[in-house]
Amino acid sequence: MFFLLSKIIGFIALPSNAIALACGLGLCLLVMKRRRAGTGLLAVGVMALLIFGYSPLSNVLLLTLSERFPAWHFDGREPDGIIILGGAIETEPSAARKAVEVNGAAERIIGGLELARRFPKARIVYSSGTGNLFANSVAEAPIAGRLFERLGIAPGRIVLESESRTTDENARFTRRLIAPKPGERWLLVTSAYHMPRAIGVFRKAGFDVEAYPVDWRTRGWIDAWTPFDRLSAGLARADTAVHEWCGLLAYRLTGRSDVLFPGPR
């Protein structure tokens, strides 16, 4: 039920969808001769479109998330394992084309591969089933596993968790699958903006991992003053940021994380 509700509410909460719904409802009200209400909704929709599409607000929302955890630095102690959270592979096109099609989060795979080569003794865990509501969707982890093997990672090092549909399930299913031993060092690779929510659920699952953020998307706080030159770019970034903020709130309210905004210890 949580998975279904998260998909429905998440769809409505995205700024691009919310703006479209507001404008559509406003037009319907105008057709129904509800001129005042219809005009008001259209005005709100257009104003939100301009603010989220062109102003730096989207960057501010994203930067607050992505700057929460600093970049990881090697201190001389090698990790025992590396966990890579999915979301970088477009599974349906990959299955149809018999090739690996990636999206804007491809740095999760790149970062994981870099760590795998840098620390050849570490186990490599790729955690991702499918977040698609449709039953016939393709799991992501097996596709990533085949890619890693083709790029020279020994099959014996690779562990695939292909049942999870949410970040919470990533944490719980991965912990159950690999059963980490006390004292082991595990790195968690995911997008910087996604790291607070991911760390929160791993801590809740009793799995102490270290953040290895990638896929920053911005230059830093300098972008908090930089407007967008394309409406679509601002809206896309707003959708990403609002999705994460809604996820943090939902996970805290449902007890999937102990704090609203997890940070470094």
For position 7, what pLDDT does the model report?
Answer: 76
For position 35, what pLDDT does the model report?
Answer: 92
Q: Does residue 214 sit in helix, strand or coil?
A: strand
Cα 192 to Cα 179: distance, rounded to the nearest angstrom: 25
Among 5, 80, 14, CA closest to 236: 14
For position 81, what pLDDT does the model report?
Answer: 98
For position 134, what pLDDT does the model report?
Answer: 59
For position 130, what pLDDT does the model report?
Answer: 84
Q: Kindly list the averaged pLDDT for each block of 10 residues, start to end, along the chain of length 265.
A: 77 94 96 94 97 97 98 97 97 94 97 98 96 74 97 97 96 97 97 98 98 97 96 97 96 96 96
Cα 125 to Cα 141: distance, rounded to the nearest angstrom: 9
For position 11, what pLDDT does the model report?
Answer: 86
Length of the chain: 265
Cα 121 to Cα 81: distance, rounded to the nearest angstrom: 8
For position 83, what pLDDT does the model report?
Answer: 98
For position 133, what pLDDT does the model report?
Answer: 65
DSSP secondary structure letter of residue 120? T
Domains of the chain (ranges, CATH numbers): 2-66+229-253 (no CATH), 81-214 (3.40.50.620)
